[in-house]
Structure 1
Amino acid sequence: LIFGGRTLAGALTGDPATGDATLRFSALSGVAAMIETAPLEGAADAYAKMMAGRARFRMVLTMNRPPAGQVKKASNRLDRSE
């Protein structure tokens, strides 16, 4: 970030408790991000599509995932199965 001349920006909207409440509301009411997916192998094409303004919503790169039994569930993530 520093030597590469890059910047990182974000938006602070509320306190952590408000953010947690927003995530819980989203999970309970089925709110989900509108995304377009592309395989990781097609990252260059996805980037070009995004830069050309042809991407719909957010571009998300996908990867092959190991079987569910081999993946540890992150403890800091909101469980949407409830």
Structure 2
Amino acid sequence: MGPGEEAGGARAGCFGPDDCYGVAWLLLHLIETGPNPVLTEPPDAHAGPWRRRLWRRGANAGLVMAEEAGGGDGGAIRS
């Protein structure tokens, strides 16, 4: 069973400036297994790459609006 909404939101705040030897990918996948999208609004222009990536993956899956406030795809991986 994936994390609940509160836990997913708390985890979204844990992304650092790098991928921390793959831990960021684990964190991203834990958040994505939650029952609902954690980010309900596009990340701002100053959001880190992992928050932008999480948003873009939700948009690619059709779970959130595709528009990103910061512009561009933020280096997002398209699944």
Q: Counting helix residues as a fraction of each chain, which structure ranks higher?
A: 2
Same fold flag (TM > 0.5): no
**Larger % of strand: which?**
1
- Highest Rg: 1 or 2? 1
- State the TM bucket, normalised to the shorter chain: under 0.3
